[in-house]
Structure 1
Amino acid sequence: MAWAEKFKLNKQLVRSLTEAGFDNPKELQQKTLSRINGGQDVIAIAPEGGGKTTTLVLATLNRFKHSADNVPAALILSPDQEGVEAINERFNLLNRNKTIRIVLLHAGIGVDQQMDDLAEGADIVIATPDRARAIYLKLGLNLNKVELLVIDDAHAIVKKGLQLPTTELSTSIGKAQRLVFTEVMHDKLAKMIDPLMHLPSTVEVEEMSETQLGMLPQMLYHVPNFGTKINLLNLFLQDVEVFTKTVVFTNTRLTAETIYKSLLRKARLSSAFIKPLSYEYPVADNVADFLRNDKLRVLLIANELDEQVDLTGVPFIINFDLPADKEVYIKHVEIQASDEESETIALTFATDLELDQVRRIEQATGQKMQTADLPDDLVIEKDRKEKEAEKAARPKQVHKAEDKYTPGPAFHEKKPENAKTYNISSSKKAKMNKAKKH
């Protein structure tokens, strides 16, 4: 058997894999399982459906050679309840060692119930980072004997803002092997996992669709944040001769309105919406009307409308946001039979948190987007957190009590006879005032 020949998997696992229909290991498993079984920290980068879940389940189960002792030896973190349950289903499919007790921690069950489950004993804990941390702080989760920490869908953990509980859980675990599975690697993710890993081996696998779809030429602009997206859009639209007609796709109408308000005056005056939230904004009924109107250069369309739009004849399509459903994007940039000779170019703006969507689109279409360099004159906006950190780091101006007033050159001391060197009580002032002749 392929599994028995290539990897040091126990016989129970090999039998389970065969019965489940996993006849041959995927590329990710071929490249990672030997390293994992050797005890090395591993960062595995693979697309959706690349075999990440099966790999982490095999890596975990292979550690249990005999009966388990009901103390957590493995902690597996997933970004949400759906991910936790999907991993558990794969364990149920492949696990033949009935002494292993698995406990799930997520928001779908009450904390007290989950703490009771842990108290009864657990060998493998599959959890969302925030729920695992909350129970750990209540002293309900024992991490003292954890030998394996797995962070699954790490890109989604960063997207959901769960870096802090993930990092705190990792630092609460002593010496242990750490595995990270993700669809993409980017700066925000690297910032989270770099301090947690010890000399990790990075394995990247790309699985593209064998059938290539006919797509318009696509340029990918990787930008740090929303503000830089706005600056890049304004920079492009300043070139009136090149960007004569541009359709801009956003995920929501609220984002479209935000973009409209952020556009420079000339671009704003020549922009219109399809079905805006408010009727105070200029409207175009469809793309054809937009193309016929010589005064309009920019058309804003929200993906949430799920509009069937004919983009024939539009020189530029800008995907300001990337939709969660890759089919929505593909529908906009796929070449139709009527526009095979089209000269339309699709530009896509993506932040770190959208790179997983880019990879899914590339996987589905069978072709990679061409990465474009950012223009030299593009203003890169700082993230909100960076601005707050800079503000906090600025030295505060403190007025010291000992700082005294220094008189100017026109100041003259009073003559001794005019100087007031005494204090008069209120009763004495009253007598003096009474003695005055009015």
Structure 2
Amino acid sequence: MASFEDFKLNKQLLNAISEAGYEIPTEIQQKAIIPILAGQDVMGIAQTGTGKTAAFVLPMLMKLKFAQGNDPRALILSPTRELAMQIEGDIRLFSTYLDLRTVVLYGGLGPKTQKENLAKGCDIIVATPGRFLDLYLAGDINTRSLQFLVMDEADKMMDMGFIGKIHRILEVVPRKKQNLLFSATMSDLVQKIAGDFLAFPTVIEVTEQATPATTVTQNLYHVPNLKTKLNLLQYLLKDEESFSRIIVFCKTRVVADEVYRYLSKQFGKEHIRVVHANKGQNTRINSIQAFKEGSIRVLVATDVAARGLDVSNVSHVINFDVPIVIEDYVHRIGRTGRAFNLGDAITFCNPAEEYYVAKIEKLIRQTIPVLDLPTEVFVEKVGFEEKQAIAREIDNQKRKENPDFKGAFHEKKHVYNAGKKKAVKKSFKGIKKR
């Protein structure tokens, strides 16, 4: 495909696409738009950053054409409020010259305004599963006119335990509709839900499952402990020219807050923000918006921001912690190297995280290149408590692989007792001889 004009989209859409700066369709767009326009159910497998939102939004807008009635004709389900807002933003961007009405629904704030927006009438609903069900059960949504059901980031929805809510939604929407499912990975649960609502779908896999974008360069540092991770992070961020716009991913809210505090002292609060589930909705929205606009350089985040955060020209993603849900690695690093741009993903790995790195490498079918720690980075001694925590985690990992494994402490105790018994037996032998 040379251009979007080859899809025979209407003039209003083509003008909006041109004004948004899109020139060449991405691979997923080239392969998905035509079958969706033809009315086929589609299952698309594509890593983040490949333009899959436009792949289903553009043909959907083309088929809906104009505002009609009060009830929604398209429902797009998203695992997180951030992704829902991102999709709604893309719909507004592409429907600039259309009179289609879009309402976004998500939790974390009162439903009053969302109910009022629904009452005005809408053509498209973008929603998280929980909030959609709440408003449907309250009688604020009528699903009889639905023509499209789109499930975006299906693998994340399954990871977040939405399978029960998805099945309830499938029970209340019309059977006769066009169904679209998009996912970066194809887990067993995603295959199950796909089988429940897709009818003989066209399967589009633009890359092998769980393959990171080829525009992302991946590297790994082996780092012994938390303090050394902080030293390495500070060292890397001193290069302001190369590390111009960075997302630092942490596994917990506590770690994210600590990293934020540390970086704020080193580089100033005005250049850094932190987002996680404990932050208020407005705070999260404002922080992500400031990062998009380029007014802050570093965004520290938990995996709440790994999906749906579409920011152009993110120079680096830094995994301060290796994700325990290994599929999240693909989504994290997909925040950089988006839409034909190049990007870098750097992972910090302590001894207890090597287990997950091995699983990630198996998932992505790649070996992540290992870099030596720069000589300028001071390597801190591992404290007693952290050493114990790492040892316990490694024991737990071994137990996962081998249920009969008793743990290092148990083994030491067993060896000691065996030696003690042997010594006692030897003593008794000596007594008998005497």
**The TM-score by the shorter chain falls in which range?**
0.5 to 0.7
Q: How does 1:196-215 map to 2 (within 5 A)?
A: 196-206=197-207, 208-210=213-215
The alpha carbon displacement at 1:78 in A equals 0.6
Q: Deviations over 1:151-170 (max 9, x none)?
A: 11111111111111122212
Q: 2:104 and 2:367 mapped to 1: Cα distance?
A: 31
Change (3 A) 1:350 1:184: farther
Gaps spanning 5+ residues in structure 2: where? 222-249, 255-301, 303-317, 334-343, 370-399, 405-434
Contact 1:8 1:37 in 2 (8 A): no
Partner of 1:62, secondary structure, is helix
The alpha carbon displacement at 1:36 in A equals 0.6
Change (3 A) 1:83 1:251: closer
The alpha carbon displacement at 1:75 in A equals 0.3
Change (3 A) 1:108 1:101: farther
Partner of 1:149, secondary structure, is strand
Partner of 1:6, secondary structure, is helix
The alpha carbon displacement at 1:112 in A equals 3.1
Partner of 1:330, secondary structure, is strand
Partner of 1:121, secondary structure, is coil
1:9 and 2:9 matched: yes
The residue type equivalent to 2:83 in the other structure is G
Q: Deviations over 1:55-91 (max 9, x none)?
A: 1221221112344333200001111110111011111
Partner of 2:122, secondary structure, is coil
The alpha carbon displacement at 1:48 in A equals 1.2
Partner of 1:145, secondary structure, is coil
The residue type equivalent to 2:9 in the other structure is L
Aligned twin of 1:269: none
Change (3 A) 1:358 1:70: farther
Aligned twin of 2:270: none
Q: Deviations over 1:192-214 (max 9, x none)?
A: 22111100111112363357556
Contact 1:104 1:126 in 2 (8 A): yes
1:190 and 2:181 matched: no
Q: 1:53 and 1:195 mapped to 2: Cα distance?
A: 22
Aligned twin of 1:128: 128
Give the alignment's Cα RMSD to 1 decimal: 4.2
Q: 2:79 and 2:325 mapped to 1: Cα distance?
A: 22
Q: 1:4 and 1:308 mapped to 2: Cα distance?
A: 39
Partner of 1:164, secondary structure, is helix
The residue type equivalent to 2:213 in the other structure is M
The alpha carbon displacement at 1:38 in A equals 0.6
Partner of 2:347, secondary structure, is helix
The residue type equivalent to 1:330 in the other structure is T
Q: 1:47 and 1:182 mapped to 2: Cα distance?
A: 8
Q: How does 1:20-59 map to 2 (within 5 A)?
A: 20-59=20-59
Give me the TM-score of the superposition, normalised by structure 1.
0.52
The residue type equivalent to 2:347 in the other structure is I
Q: 2:73 and 2:23 mapped to 1: Cα distance?
A: 29
Change (3 A) 1:42 1:193: same
The residue type equivalent to 1:196 in the other structure is F
Q: How does 1:11-410 map to 2 (within 5 A)?
A: 11-174=11-174, 175-206=176-207, 208-210=213-215, 322=326, 330-332=347-349, 348=356, 359=364
Which structure shows the bigger proportion of residues in helix conformation? 2
The alpha carbon displacement at 1:49 in A equals 0.3
Change (3 A) 1:74 1:160: same
- The number of aligned residues is 267
Aligned twin of 2:243: none
Aligned twin of 1:219: none
Q: 1:20 and 1:350 mapped to 2: Cα distance?
A: 40
Contact 1:104 1:125 in 2 (8 A): yes
Give me the TM-score of the superposition, normalised by structure 2.
0.53
Q: 1:67 and 1:2 mapped to 2: Cα distance?
A: 31
The residue type equivalent to 2:50 in the other structure is G
Contact 1:129 1:165 in 2 (8 A): yes
The alpha carbon displacement at 1:25 in A equals 0.5
The alpha carbon displacement at 1:54 in A equals 1.4
Q: Which moved more, 1:79-88 or 1:188-197?
A: 188-197
Contact 1:149 1:170 in 2 (8 A): no
Change (3 A) 1:5 1:120: closer
Contact 1:36 1:59 in 2 (8 A): yes
Q: 1:184 and 1:93 mapped to 2: Cα distance?
A: 27
The residue type equivalent to 1:160 in the other structure is M
The residue type equivalent to 1:125 in the other structure is I
Q: 2:40 and 2:320 mapped to 1: Cα distance?
A: 50
Aligned twin of 1:338: none
Change (3 A) 1:96 1:165: same
Partner of 2:64, secondary structure, is coil
Partner of 2:167, secondary structure, is helix
Aligned twin of 1:396: none
Partner of 1:199, secondary structure, is coil
Q: 1:179 and 1:67 mapped to 2: Cα distance?
A: 21
Q: 2:358 and 2:163 mapped to 1: Cα distance?
A: 21
The alpha carbon displacement at 1:50 in A equals 0.8
The alpha carbon displacement at 1:331 in A equals 3.7
Change (3 A) 1:118 1:380: farther
Change (3 A) 1:16 1:168: same
Contact 2:220 2:346 in 1 (8 A): no
